[in-house]
Structure 1
Amino acid sequence: MTIEQIYTGCLAQGAYYIVSGKEAVIIDPLRETKPYLDRLEKDEVKLKYIFETHFHADFVSGHLDLSRKTGAPIIYGPTANPDFEAIIATDGQIFEVGDIKIKVLHTPGHTMESSTFLLIDENGKETAIFSGDTLFLGDVGRPDLAQKAASMTQEELAGILYDSLQNKIMPLADDIIVYPAHGAGSACGKNMQKETVDTLGNQKKSNYALNQPNKEAFVKEVLDGLSAPPKYFGMNVAMNKGGYEDFDVIFKKGNHPLSPDDFEKVAEDSGALILDTRNAAEFHKGFVPNSINIGLQGDFAPWVGAMIVDVQQPLLLVSDSGSEEETITRLARVGFDNVIGYLKGSFPEWEKSGKEIDHVKRISAETFAAELSEHSKVIDVRNATEYAAEHVNEAYSRPLVEINEWAPSLKSEEHFYVHCAGGYRSMIAASILNSRGIRNFTEVEGGFGKIKETGVPKSNFVCQTKTLN
């Protein structure tokens, strides 16, 4: 028997490939199926089952495409009601794979169909759990995502999650290995560890959620401090539950190079959003007017999902040459299937064509420190907890995810500085503001990380009553 965790850092997501004898299973696969198909062929094994721990919200699973291409059935836990053919397992049902067994443990709470898969090895020993979003390392799955579908409050779901953990997970042996669906960086939890594998015994000791004295305390602690879920989560759940177009079709449609003239015409005719995935250092120096910058070399897919409201929004790409296919793939992983082409030759071709170019004013932290005065307005787009820990004295806390709420209150005649932690998020904000005609700002390169190295006055005093106007 072999167990392989296939971890995708940009989504903080773990899929699992398990082989015993000449049979294999895959748990929570990513959207693109080719890597799995290649691996199955290489290992000369048959995919027997595709296990889904629940209807995922933060990414589109590859279960449907993988099932179509291999014939392997999809398995969900009790109460799941997908709009496609699948095996809906009963609590405690066992599936044999080669010389091992996988037992379904129904563990509702994160969602009502959420299940944990218990692996029993060749010797009959309970060896590992694939806990999905029921149990993370250092945390548990947030219970506020399925309220509407379950017709329950988040408090009721949190109570159900407590019962699942206490009755199904805690009684298991301490030496069992925990393989979660996500790690640090995922929006599916709030306190996840950077490690991606641990023993259950260690989690019983270190995980705050497993160390609450009673259900009431658990509910309070698990719900405390939850930020609003990204807007695309509901749309991804709908795709995972209701079905989606074949990834190969999506990829072919998006992998369409366009000359500058054609790119410009398609943008005008389609109303597409121009998504520039180059890094901030390149973007600020020049870009196609009205482009939104979300760098590929960062938490790309989650930020696309957070900032672009509709997964059906037509997208035109400006990416570094050679990265177009990766960009289309990473967009499809979170359900953005409507890429209609990309700028051939990237931005240098646009420059050569002599077409209009826009830019963002960017300065170093040292220049920011020299220019800063008591009359300067500074907008910090980091999240609230980062801001509360330490920030530029008198800076406004305006998280990037809330830009639609605070941007309209900006005064066009008043200059301001904008920064984040390192420059990634502030350039997203800068590009959005710029596309809306708000240009009276300067973005700070290197963000608060570099600002801290200067003599700029800092504070951890939070005054949330400050208004932009």
Structure 2
Amino acid sequence: MYFKQFFDKKLAQTSYMVACQKTKEAIIIDPKRVLDEYEKVAAEEGFNITHATETHIHADFASGLRDAAKHFGAKLYVSDEGDDNWKYQSVPEDTVFLKENDVINVGNIELKVMHTPGHTPESMSFILTDHGGGSKEPMGIFTGDFLFVGDIGRPDLLEEAAKMKGTTEEGANAMYDSLNKLSDYADFLQVWPGHGAGSACGKSLGAVPLSTLGYERQNNWAFNFDSKDEFIKELTNDQPEPPSYFAQMKKVNKTGLPEFKVKEVELESSKKLTGQIFDLRRKEAFKKGFVKGSINVPYNDKFLQFAGWYINYDEPMTIIGNPDDSTSLQKDLASIGFDNLELIISEEQASQYFDASYENISPEEFVELYEDKKVLDVRSAAEYKDGNLSTAAHIHFGQLDNKDIPFNQDDTIFVHCQSGVRSAIAMSVLKARGFENVINVEKGYAGIKAAMK
């Protein structure tokens, strides 16, 4: 048997390839939309990607399931569990719809379906047995967003992101029952989760890429509750705010997207900048001059997690950044279902349009004057709950473009996050909304607390 784990750092998302080395058949599990990595590995190892499946209809990235059918000719295997609201659409006619205890055979490898609802009603896990290696005992389980290292999948995304009322309680109850299904399996069973640290699909995911069921029984908080009510209370408390693009992912992963292909994007245009504008420069350069209305999200490993809060899927996009990044930007944006990148313009070309800037203030200066000033804390709810300035208003940085700001547009507002990264993004959003007198507090709440000592 061949086993390969793929981790996308920008989305904290994990997918897998498993292959029978005798028959050269391979399956990809929870594939992302850009298929390059799977194709490269299959070619290097001499495998044919003949099967593709996923554990559930994802909310945090655009699925590559349908693209795998088109590009590789892979046969698709999808969940037929859950209610009618979450049935796969626009899949090939030969797609296999799976129920509890169904089996996917990939050469001499068996993947047995376990229905594990909780994160979503249709969620499945796959229990792998390597018959080609002579084993009759399962080796491991692909858990998707059911069981993580150190955590379990949140049950509230359908309610928070897709606005389906009442689904949080239903999911939490189902998750408790799903965990109990694992009692029949040995401690040595390996756990292969769908996400790692950094994902918003749970609240305390570990950074270790895999685990064992025995280790999780000892160390994962979810296995340490005898009371179902207490378990549900802990599971539903303090979950991180889901990025707004999650709602779009639930929709398109259910109905399908066009096959992704890199295209020619216009570069260095002198025409008027149109559509939504994302400025990918570092915050230090952005604050000195930018296009009013643009959103400043530096192009780094957190780009998708931050940009996903603000993308309008109905508008074309202009990027201010490095034109050489065209291909990588298209692939990154495609991974959250956005294919309408229209223009990339360099900083030098874009500077002619710059009509705004903002100021920074050191935490030491801020501490001297903040008590009678208007302060906006843009951290997460959990961070705010853990400690805050009593005079500060609180709005999550990703929700600034669609929530009422409790200040007048001509007020002077001091903005802070935890360390200064998210508040810099917030500055661009507030400027876009017409708040001209905003000042960014360097080093954020951590710097403020240090300056108060």
Q: Is the 8 A contact 1:257 1:341 kept in 2?
A: yes
What is the aligned counterpart of 1:286 among 285, 289, 300?
289
| Deviation (angstroms), 1:321 | 4.5
| Deviation (angstroms), 1:275 | 0.8
What is the aligned counterpart of 1:32 among 24, 31, 34?
34
- Please give the alpha-carbon distance, in whole angstroms, between the structure 2 residues aligned to 1:445 and 1:233: 30
Label 1:406 to 1:68 Cα distance change in 2 as closer, same or farther (>3 A). Answer: closer
Q: Is the 8 A contact 2:289 2:354 kept in 1?
A: no
- Aligned pairs for 1:181-200 (under 5 A) are 181-200=194-213
Residue of structure 1 equivalent to 2:139: 127
Paired residues in the alignment total 439
Deviation per CA, 1:46-68: give whole Å up to 9, x if none. 11211110000111011111211
- Please give the alpha-carbon distance, in whole angstroms, between the structure 2 residues aligned to 1:298 and 1:285: 23
Residue of structure 1 equivalent to 2:366: 368
Residue of structure 1 equivalent to 2:49: 47
Q: Give the TM-score normalised by structure 1.
A: 0.87
Q: Give the TM-score normalised by structure 2.
A: 0.90
Residue of structure 2 equivalent to 1:466: none
Residue 237 (structure 1) aligned with residue 250 (structure 2): yes
Q: Is the 8 A contact 1:17 1:26 kept in 2?
A: yes
What is the aligned counterpart of 1:107 among 87, 107, 116?
116
| Deviation (angstroms), 1:407 | 4.8
Q: Is the 8 A contact 1:133 1:141 kept in 2?
A: yes
Q: Is the 8 A contact 1:52 1:76 kept in 2?
A: yes
| Deviation (angstroms), 1:69 | 1.0
Label 1:152 to 1:171 Cα distance change in 2 as closer, same or farther (>3 A). Answer: farther
Work out the percentage of aligned pairs sharing the same amino acid.
Answer: 35
- Please give the alpha-carbon distance, in whole angstroms, between the structure 2 residues aligned to 1:396 and 1:350: 34
- Structure 1 letter corresponding to 2:400: I
What is the aligned counterpart of 2:413 among 409, 413, 416?
416
- Please give the alpha-carbon distance, in whole angstroms, between the structure 1 residues aligned to 2:121 and 2:142: 17
Residue of structure 1 equivalent to 2:9: 9
- Aligned pairs for 1:374-413 (under 5 A) are 374-392=371-389, 394-404=391-401, 407-413=404-410
Residue 142 (structure 1) aligned with residue 154 (structure 2): yes
| Deviation (angstroms), 1:286 | 1.9
- Please give the alpha-carbon distance, in whole angstroms, between the structure 1 residues aligned to 2:195 and 2:433: 35
What is the aligned counterpart of 2:422 among 416, 425, 434?
425
Residue 451 (structure 1) aligned with residue 448 (structure 2): yes
Deviation per CA, 1:330-353: give whole Å up to 9, x if none. 12111122211211xx112223xx
| Deviation (angstroms), 1:124 | 2.4
What is the aligned counterpart of 1:275 among 269, 275, 278?
278
Which residues of structure 2 form unaligned runs of 5+? none
- Structure 2 letter corresponding to 1:12: A
Q: Is the 8 A contact 1:291 1:435 kept in 2?
A: yes
Q: Is the 8 A contact 2:287 2:358 kept in 1?
A: yes
Q: Is the 8 A contact 2:16 2:31 kept in 1?
A: yes
- Structure 2 letter corresponding to 1:73: K
- Please give the alpha-carbon distance, in whole angstroms, between the structure 1 residues aligned to 2:390 and 2:167: 39
Q: Is the 8 A contact 1:312 1:336 kept in 2?
A: no
Residue of structure 2 equivalent to 1:359: 357
3-state SS, counterpart of residue 436 of structure 2: coil
- Structure 2 letter corresponding to 1:58: D
Label 1:356 to 1:383 Cα distance change in 2 as closer, same or farther (>3 A). Answer: closer
Residue of structure 1 equivalent to 2:173: 159
- Please give the alpha-carbon distance, in whole angstroms, between the structure 2 residues aligned to 1:231 and 1:25: 31
- Structure 2 letter corresponding to 1:234: A
- Please give the alpha-carbon distance, in whole angstroms, between the structure 2 residues aligned to 1:55 and 1:66: 15
Q: Is the 8 A contact 2:409 2:434 kept in 1?
A: no
